[in-house]
Amino acid sequence: MEWIADPSIWAGLITLIVIELVLGIDNLVFIAILAEKLPPKQRDRARVTGLLLAMLMRLLLLASISWLVTLTQPLFSFRSFTFSARDLIMLFGGFFLLFKATMELNERLEGKDSNNPTQRKGAKFWGVVTQIVVLDAIFSLDSVITAVGMVDHLLVMMAAVVIAISLMLMASKPLTQFVNSHPTIVILCLSFLLMIGFSLVAEGFGFVIPKGYLYAAIGFSVMIEALNQLAIFNRRRFLSANQTLRQRTTEAVMRLLSGQKEDAELDAETASMLVDHGNQQIFNPQERRMIERVLNLNQRTVSSIMTSRHDIEHIDLNAPEDEIRQLLERNQHTRLVVTDGDDAEDLLGVVHVIDLLQQSLRGEPLNLRVLIRQPLVFPETLPLLPALEQFRNARTHFAFVVDEFGSVEGIVTLSDVTETIAGNLPNEVEEIDARHDIQKNADGSWTANGHMPLEDL
Nearest to 353 by CA among 377, 376, 325, 316: 325
SS3 category, 433: coil
The pair phi, psi for residue 110, each rounded to 5°, is -80, -10
Residues in a beta bridge with 398: 413
What is the pLDDT, as a whole number, of residue 17?
76
Between 266 and 137, where is the model more confident? 137
456 vs 190: CA distance, rounded Å: 52
413 with 419: CB under 8 angstroms?
Answer: no
* Tens-digit pLDDT profile for residues 410-431: 889 888 888 888 777 665 555 5
For the stretch 275-301, pLDDT in tens is 445 555 556 677 777 777 887 788 888
404: Cβ contacts below 8 Å, ≥ 6 apart: 379, 380
Distances (CA, A) of 429 to 262, 345, 425: 47, 27, 12
Rounded to an integer, the average pLDDT of 61-89 is: 74
Which range scores top for mean pLDDT: 24-33, 137-146, 283-292, 405-414?
405-414
Q: Has residue 436 got a pLDDT over 80?
A: no
Alpha helices of 207-334 — where are they, by DSSP H? 211-242, 245-257, 268-274, 285-295, 321-330
Of all residues in the chain, what percent carry a pLDDT higher than 70?
A: 70
Residue type, 96: F
CA distances from 1 to 4, 5, 7, 153 (A): 6, 8, 13, 11
CB 44 within 8 A of CB 185: no
Could you give the C-alpha distances from 253 to 233, 347, 454, in angstroms and in order? 21, 42, 21
CA-to-CA dists, residue 274 to 50, 114, 257, 270, angstroms: 39, 21, 11, 7
The residue type found at 405 is F
As a whole number, the mean pLDDT across the chain is 74
pLDDT on residue 118: 42
Report the distance separating Cα 318 and Cα 324, nearest Å: 10
Strands 446-448 and 438-440: antiparallel
Q: Are the C-beta atoms of 434 and 307 separated by less than 8 Å?
A: no
Q: pLDDT-derived band of residue 143, with 50, 70 and 90 as boundaries? A: low
Q: Residue 379's pLDDT is what?
A: 93
pTM: 0.47
